[in-house]
Amino acid sequence: MAERYAISKVNVPEGAAVPELVKMKMEKEEKLAEEKKQALAAKQKAREEERAKLKERTVAYEKEYADTAAELVKLRREAKLNGNFFVEPEAKLIFVVRIAGIMKMSPKPRKVLQLLRLKQLHNGVFLKVNKPTLNMLKLVQPYVTYGYPSLKTVRELIYKRGFGKVSKQRIPLSSNDIISDALGKHGIHGMEDIIHEIYTVGPNFKQVSNFLWPFKLSSPKGGFVNKRHGYCEARGGDWGNREELINELLGRMN
Amino acid sequence: MATARPVVSIYNFENPSEKTGTMPMPVVLQSPLRPDLVREVHRDMAKNKRQAYAVKPKAGYDTAAESWCTGRAVARIPRAPGGGTHRAGQAAFGNQARGGGMFNPTTIWRRWHRRVNVTKKRHAVACALAASALPPLVMARGHKINQVAELPLVVSDGIQSLTKTKQAKEALKKLGCGEELQKVIDSKSIRAGQGKARNRRYVKRLGPLVIYNEDNGITRAMRNIPGVECAHVDRLNLLRLAPGGSFGRFVIFTEGAFKKLSDIYGTLKSGAPKKKGYTLPRAAMANADLARIINSTEVQSVLRPKMERYTHGIKRNALKSKELMEELNPGSTERRAVQLKSSQKGTPEYDEVQKKKKARIEESKKYNKEHKKGDETFYKTLMKAFEAKAAADAAKKAAEKADDEEDEE
């Protein structure tokens, strides 16, 4: 807190008689300036420590991602070798994008979209996959498109369009301090921590996902196929679950 | 006003350069200044001297006019009856008709007068008196007081006994009011507006107001001097103390009158002896010096320090800005550099990658040599799927051929 003291410089011309109140103010400001200097030094030290730790964690995360990917490859190969079928792990993470506008929305899907924080066209949120969320998505199928984002997509979304909810305001994630202040108590102190928590759907996924303001995406460059129809229909469409292919769409919307 | 009362000098009316004595300022002259109150009370008090005006009650209706109704190719407005004169058949009564009554005729029972609460009136007078003791306010009102020795201007009681206008004028001039009196004379001009034809031809500025205690001729001496007005201290009129609702009239007190102010108004503690149940107005704030209050140690010691505001600036994209990426993801630049090196020939990272690649290819070859032999090769396993069908086709053909031969036979 002391780092943010606003110190005002009192300009006293040479040789002028200093009024009593001005003198009091000068003494007060001096003391605050001293406190501020100390606090800034302490903050700097803490910041360096924090950054070193974050760096270690990031390296560990990258290893973790590479390891999990390699593990999957190994298992697939093993299955093929033994003539078995490898059952791909079900997705844990979903990214949902609102496709429909706000006009003429039935009350039930409208409420569900509100609950999912998809209040605007092309808003996107990360969701955990479980029974309740899947059932909610079922209710709003024709108004959203969703799928399983890749690590690259998650990173790009958070770096480019990541904003946090700080005292009910939408604040850009321009510094790790913002993240640390909001999510520090859950052990999340930086961008890479957020990305890890989201991608691996960790124990604090809810807090992190809620901290992230719903992503405001652009309309996709190259367009939609047909928003009125489902992705899986033969004639081509856009709403519903498009599994891995959400990444292609998000690449055009981000 | 917790300060001690200042002392006011009394000037000898015959020789105003000498002072005959001093007196403490009455508490009345230290009342809080309330221009809003004075304006409001003046506005309402000024309405009380009005004379009613209205149109005649019958104005415009003193005909026996009646509408001709429809069917006569004229408008339905009431028309004057009869014949033999221009007036017959002419429109009457309506405000649009010539000779008709006005819309909403003015009435004498309009509420001309306003009552003002007594306390309010008294407070207003106290304010106006206080303002008259402050040079900037008096000057702002337009009085020329540069030559006046002191405000409030208190003159010895001798001035109350003057009988000749000439003497009175001399006395005022010696007191420094010459410029003021001249201003009044110079300002005489013909009134703008109809008032000039209604016995209010000339207007001029107001000069000093002389407040006396005992009239031994002063009113008659002063009354012909243009601009000068006299008032008895017991009967002070707000309309004279704050003409037009603006306080700060130039007031000249006589010694007796000045003393009597304290007797009439008293102090905040004692109340006003001569005005039953009345106490002078109190200021809303005892200490109105905000700067001093805010900067006092009592206030400053319980305030938290002023903080810088959070500024977020324009959001930059970390995927584009290497600087921002390093800030958000410490170590990313060096990791990226290492990664890039692995595609540059000659670097140890590149060699590392190539080694891994080679090892992988070796593995694959070894595996294939071991497992994919003979019938396990890709082609063979592929064709095996067709073998069954090929055999089935061949069998079918053979069967057909056999049937054909049978048929032939």
Query: Using one digit for the tens of pLDDT, what is the confidence trace for B216-233?
Result: 999 999 999 999 999 999
Report the gap between the CA of A240 and the closest CA in chain B (Å): 29
Q: How far apart are CA B327 and CA B318, in angstroms?
A: 9
Nearest-by-Cβ selection for B319 from A2, A55, A159: A159
Q: How confident is the model at residue B324, as a pLDDT?
A: 94
Q: How confident is the model at residue A221, as a pLDDT?
A: 96
Q: DSSP class of residue B156?
A: -
**φ/ψ (deg, to 5) at B201:** -65, -45
Q: Is the pTM for the entire model greater than 0.90?
A: no
* Mean pLDDT value across chain A: 94
Report the gap between the CA of A141 and the closest CA in chain B (Å): 32
Of chain B, the percentage scoring pLDDT greater than 70 comes to: 99
Q: Across the interface, do A174 and B331 touch by the CB < 8 Å criterion?
A: no
Top pLDDT among B187 and B312 is at: B187
Q: Across the interface, do A174 and B315 touch by the CB < 8 Å criterion?
A: yes
**pLDDT single digits (tens) A12-23:** 788 788 888 888
**φ/ψ (deg, to 5) at B274:** -95, 0
Q: Across the interface, do B307 and A4 touch by the CB < 8 Å criterion?
A: yes
Q: Across the interface, do B297 and A21 touch by the CB < 8 Å criterion?
A: no
Q: Is the pLDDT reported for residue B145 higher than 50?
A: yes
Of chain A, the percentage scoring pLDDT greater than 70 comes to: 100
Q: Across the interface, do B307 and A6 touch by the CB < 8 Å criterion?
A: yes
Running along chain A, 254 residues long, what does each successive block of 10 average in pLDDT? 85 81 86 93 94 96 96 93 91 97 96 97 97 97 97 97 95 94 95 97 97 97 96 95 96 96
Top residue of B296, B327, B328 to mutate, by most chain A CBs within 10 Å, is B328
ipTM of the complex: 0.88
Q: Would an 8 Å CB–CB cutoff place B290 in contact with chain A? A: no
**pLDDT single digits (tens) A47-65:** 999 999 999 999 999 999 9
**pLDDT single digits (tens) B353-394:** 899 999 999 998 998 888 777 777 888 888 888 888 888 889
Nearest CA in chain A to B294: A21
Q: Would an 8 Å CB–CB cutoff place B317 in contact with chain A? A: yes
Quickly state the pLDDT bin for B3 (edges 50, 70, 90). Answer: low
Q: Across the interface, do A174 and B324 touch by the CB < 8 Å criterion?
A: yes
Nearest CA in chain A to B327: A175
Q: Is the pLDDT reported for residue B189 higher than 90?
A: yes
